[in-house]
């Protein structure tokens, strides 16, 4: 047997699907192949390197598309779908458990946190997505109805890239736009709104009359914060309660999918 024979045999095996799953929110069904040694090495380099979180998230999306045996509609994936698929990839290619070493940013205590990917997967299916509507009428009688829901992971990545040079106060004003899935004006839904890039959708919302977003009785921005304000906490809860054992500081958000590939 030659090296070429071995490569062909491995390619044939690698071409076979390792597992098939259905995402909890978008309900897409995808089959995945095994990771190669090279892919594992590349993801580990990202995990322990100096790459920014958003760049690593983009690499993780790229990993899913590389391993997917067929077409993947990444624009349909919510953040929960994204976490779920990466948990499945981690569970099938590595193991169903991982111990992460953490240092508290407040008291500098170092401790371990255990991740159970079977439990993370269960929590992804238990996660209750918020779907809501906000309706407002402007001074000339035009009615605007905003259809609200969980943002897609690609929109989250685009938003982070779009606002990375903005200060926190400016970003906070545009963050609610992520949750606008579509808009109906006088009962007519804008047919191509949801298919536009995030930047175009944000620009369209900002072009609306101010009375379409807030008046003396109601405020779209406040409504969205009330509906979705605890979403980041709910997402962080997928990874288990995380508090410093020494000073009891809540460290939710320290562990995320970036931690999955630390080996």
Domain membership of residue 206 (yes or no) is: yes
Decide: 69 and 16 in contact? Cβ < 8 Å: no
Domain membership of residue 10 (yes or no) is: no
Overall number of domains in the chain: 1
Q: What are phi and psi of 118, to 5 degrees?
A: -65, -40
pTM, two decimals, is 0.89
Q: What are phi and psi of 246, to 5 degrees?
A: -90, -55
167: containing domain? 132-223
Q: Is the pLDDT of residue 174 over 90?
A: no
- Span 94-151, pLDDT tens digits: 999 999 999 999 999 999 999 999 999 999 999 999 999 999 999 899 999 999 999 9
How far the first Cα of the chain sits from its last, in Å, is 32
Confidence label for 90 from pLDDT (cuts 50, 70 and 90): very high
C-alpha to C-alpha distance for 100 and 235, rounded to whole angstroms: 18
Domain membership of residue 253 (yes or no) is: no
Q: Is the pLDDT of residue 50 over 60?
A: no
Domain membership of residue 111 (yes or no) is: no
C-alpha to C-alpha distance for 241 and 77, rounded to whole angstroms: 25
Burial string for 33-68 (b: 16+ CB within 10 Å, else e) reads bbbeeebeebbeebbeeeeeeeebbbbbbebbeebb
Domain membership of residue 181 (yes or no) is: yes
- Span 210-258, pLDDT tens digits: 999 998 889 999 999 999 999 999 999 999 999 999 999 999 999 999 9
Domain membership of residue 230 (yes or no) is: no
Give the residues across from 243 on adjacent strands.
250
Domain membership of residue 113 (yes or no) is: no
Domain membership of residue 179 (yes or no) is: yes
């Amino acid at each position: 047997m030659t090296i070429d024979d071995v490569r062909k045999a491995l390619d044939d095996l690698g071409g076979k699907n390792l597992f098939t799953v259905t995402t909890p929110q978008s309900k897409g069904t995808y089959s995945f192949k095994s990771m190669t040694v090279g892919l594992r090495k590349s993801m580990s380099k990202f995990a322990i390197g100096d790459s920014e979180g958003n760049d690593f998230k983009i690499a993780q999306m790229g990993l899913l598309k590389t391993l997917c045996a067929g077409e993947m509609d990444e624009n349909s994936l919510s953040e929960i779908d994204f976490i779920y698929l990466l948990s499945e990839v981690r569970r099938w290619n590595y193991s169903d458990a991982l111990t992460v070493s953490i240092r508290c940013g407040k008291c500098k205590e170092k401790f371990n946190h255990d991740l159970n990917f079977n439990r993370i997967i269960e929590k992804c299916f238990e996660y209750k997505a918020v779907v809501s509507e906000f309706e407002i009428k402007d001074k000339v009688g035009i009615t605007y109805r905003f259809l609200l829901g969980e943002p897609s992971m690609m929109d989250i990545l685009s938003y982070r890239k779009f606002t990375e040079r903005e200060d926190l106060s400016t970003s906070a004003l545009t963050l609610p736009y992520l949750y606008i899935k579509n808009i109906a004006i006088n009962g007519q839904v804008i047919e191509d709104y949801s298919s536009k890039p995030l930047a175009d959708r944000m620009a369209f919302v900002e072009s609306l009359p101010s009375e379409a977003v807030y008046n003396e009785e109601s405020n779209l921005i406040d409504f969205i914060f009330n509906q979705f304000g605890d979403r980041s906490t709910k997402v962080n809860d997928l990874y288990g309660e995380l508090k410093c054992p020494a000073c009891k500081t809540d460290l939710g958000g320290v562990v995320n999918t970036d931690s999955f590939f630390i080996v």
